């Protein structure tokens, strides 16, 4: 990352943009909030009941969130359970700080792509 007065490097900016884009929807914010607050894996039906949006819509939002690794998917037989990715939750405030030009807080580093 560029530590000077210039912009973030392109790969970092691209990664952070995908995170912000994934959260640029109220239903996705509700899903992330729900999973983070419940602190346990939930199936689509439970999420649908909590956010009052149709199953296909929730599934589409979960796909977006899992693509950027905010949400992880566990398969149990034919059922899929979704849980918050704690590593991404820890990294997100750091990303926001860096985008705004603030120094990175002293925290464990965020995992590289694919690590959770």
pTM: 0.77
Token pair of 8 as six digits: 């973030």
Q: What are the Cα distances from residue 96, in Å, to 42, 63, 92? A: 27, 23, 6
List, in order of start, the domains of the chain with CATH numbers.
10-98 (1.10.10.10)
pLDDT in tens, the chain (116 residues): 445 677 888 988 888 888 889 989 999 999 999 999 999 999 999 999 999 999 999 999 999 999 999 999 999 999 999 999 988 777 766 767 776 777 666 554 554 444 43
The reported pLDDT for the residue numbered 12 is 84
pLDDT for 2 equals 44
- Return all residues near 45 (Cβ < 8 A) that are at least 6 apart: 55
Q: What is the structure's pLDDT at 3?
A: 53
């Amino acid at each position: 990352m560029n530590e000077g007065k210039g912009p973030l490097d392109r790969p970092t900016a691209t990664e952070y943009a995908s995170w912000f884009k994934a959260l640029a929807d109220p239903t996705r914010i509700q899903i992330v909030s729900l999973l983070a607050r419940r602190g346990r894996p939930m199936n689509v039906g439970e999420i649908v009941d909590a956010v009052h949006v149709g199953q296909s819509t929730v599934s589409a939002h979960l796909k977006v969130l899992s693509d950027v690794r905010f949400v992880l998917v566990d398969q149990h037989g034919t059922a899929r359970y979704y849980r918050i990715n704690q590593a991404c939750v820890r990294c997100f405030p750091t990303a926001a700080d860096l985008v705004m030009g603030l120094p990175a807080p002293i925290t464990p580093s965020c995992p590289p792509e694919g690590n959770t």
